[in-house]
Amino acid sequence: KFLMEPEVIKPAELERLNKVFEFLSKQNITKKEEAYQAKLLKTKKDKIKPDPRDKITEVDLSIALSKLGVAFSKPKIKDTIWEVDEDGDKCISKKEFLRMFTRCINDEYCIEPRKLFAIVRFLMFSTEFKSVITEEETLQLLYIRYGRDM
């Protein structure tokens, strides 16, 4: 059998994925916490440790989806998190998030769970995280992924 080389995440895609992860993981953060983190960034740039809350929780995902006008039931939210959660902490870490994306873009037979992937793909195209995407936003990311050969 002819094996294709696995696709990797392109730099422009990684940039968008980082923004999507931040959008999804920071939904349940209070304004006070946000201001405190911003203050830390300004004062101790080189001493900042990763935020242990830098994960996508069920609450974060639920809030993000409601902002997009999508209503998922609690069981569907739990299932979406469970599909990607490799360490069993009922959250999605950045590492799990990027692995999920890589597995899905390399999945020729559509056997990988795709609930979160579909949400992430949509948010990657929506530069302002709105419930609609423009043709220009779509073409920009498609060009990055597939080049002129589309």
* Cβ neighbours, 10 Å, residue 35: 10
Q: Which of 78, 21, 90, 77 is nearest to 51 (CA)?
A: 21
pLDDT, tens only, 48-103? 445 556 899 999 999 999 999 998 999 999 999 999 999 999 999 999 999 999 99
> Is the pLDDT confidence value at 1 over 60?
no
The three-state secondary structure class of 92 is strand
Judge if pTM exceeds 0.85: no
Residue 7 DSSP code: P
Query: First and final CA of the chain: distance in angstroms?
Result: 26
Round to whole Å and give the CA distance between 90 and 64: 17
Alpha carbons 72 and 65: distance in angstroms, whole number: 7
